Chain A
Amino acid sequence: AQSVTQPDIHITVSEGASLELRCNYSYGATPYLFWYVQSPGQGLQLLLKYFSGDTLVQGIKGFEAEFKRSQSSFNLRKPSVHWSDAAEYFCAVKAAGNKLTFGGGTRVLVKP
């Protein structure tokens, strides 16, 4: 069965600094990968997705992610963080079937 690991439970970053959130997946073939963001009291908003092709994908709000098959990773990055990026971020994999399997999430705190 597929699984997703987000090693960092919390990350604190200064406003304007760069951000990288780690995601590792376990699946036998190439999975379909997603990053979602959840602001307090809100549902999940899709940031970006990878299905195939170019391994560097661009998303909304200035985020990008890179799929690395050799490392089974799909890390999320943003060059310059804004205070509004404070939220919880979830990596998810969709393998065979229809359900998403989520990582445990990384909560991002932005310092002024």
Chain B
Amino acid sequence: GAGVSQSPSNKVTEKGKDVELRCDPISGHTALYWYRQSLGQGLEFLIYFQGNSAPDKSGLPSDRFSAERTGGSVSTLTIQRTQQEDSAVYLCASSLSSGTDQETQYFGPGTRLLVL
């Protein structure tokens, strides 16, 4: 079946603008994760959804970052008033559930964000 998809694949924006990044998880996967991959910080966890709730938002770097998930499926990561340090690849992953620790996360291709 289809894997995790993300859009756009690339996004160039100007400092101070808002951006929205979209993630479509694998069908039937109830858990969804956002990670950020940047040169200086490597791969970092941002937020985790179980269904439409986000029990773990501990990785969101500032209040400029927010995410939501609707219908237990699509998720949107929003970055307000973008800064140059937000430039990174934003990766989304999904897993079947989070009921046990033995859940494998499957990743999408990422959205490469460049803030000028």
Does B bind A? yes
Residue of B nearest to A105 (CB): B42
| Residues of A close to B35: CB separation below 8 A | 100
Interface membership of chain A positions 26-49, coded 1 if the CB is closer than 8 angstroms to chain B and 0 otherwise: 000000101010000111111001
A 72-95 contacts with B by CB, 8 A: 90, 92, 94-95
When A36-B107, A44-B107, A97-B56 are in contact, do A104 and B42 touch as well, CB less than 8 Å? yes
How far, in whole Å, are A14 and B45 apart by their CA atoms in the complex? 34
- Pairwise interchain contact A99-B48, C-beta atoms closer than 8 A: yes
Q: Tell me, yes or no, whether A96 is within 8 Å of chain B by CB.
A: yes
- Pairwise interchain contact A44-B91, C-beta atoms closer than 8 A: yes
| Residues of B close to A36: CB separation below 8 A | 107
How far, in whole Å, are A105 and B89 apart by their CA atoms in the complex? 15
- Pairwise interchain contact A98-B48, C-beta atoms closer than 8 A: yes
Q: Tell me, yes or no, whether B12 is within 8 Å of chain A by CB.
A: no
Interface residues of A (CB under 8 A from B): 32, 34, 36, 41-46, 49, 51, 90, 92, 94-105
B interface SS class: strand
B 67-106 contacts with A by CB, 8 A: 91, 93, 98, 101-106
- Pairwise interchain contact A98-B104, C-beta atoms closer than 8 A: no
Q: Contact residue range for chain B?
A: 20 to 34
Q: Tell me, yes or no, whether B110 is within 8 Å of chain A by CB.
A: yes
Q: Which of B45, B102, B108 contacts A100 (CB 8 A)?
A: B45
| Residues of B close to A98: CB separation below 8 A | 31, 33, 48, 50, 56, 98, 103
How far, in whole Å, are A90 and B35 apart by their CA atoms in the complex? 14
Distance to closest chain A CB from B35 (angstroms)? 8
Q: Tell me, yes or no, whether B43 is within 8 Å of chain A by CB.
A: yes
Distance to closest chain B CB from A81 (angstroms)? 23
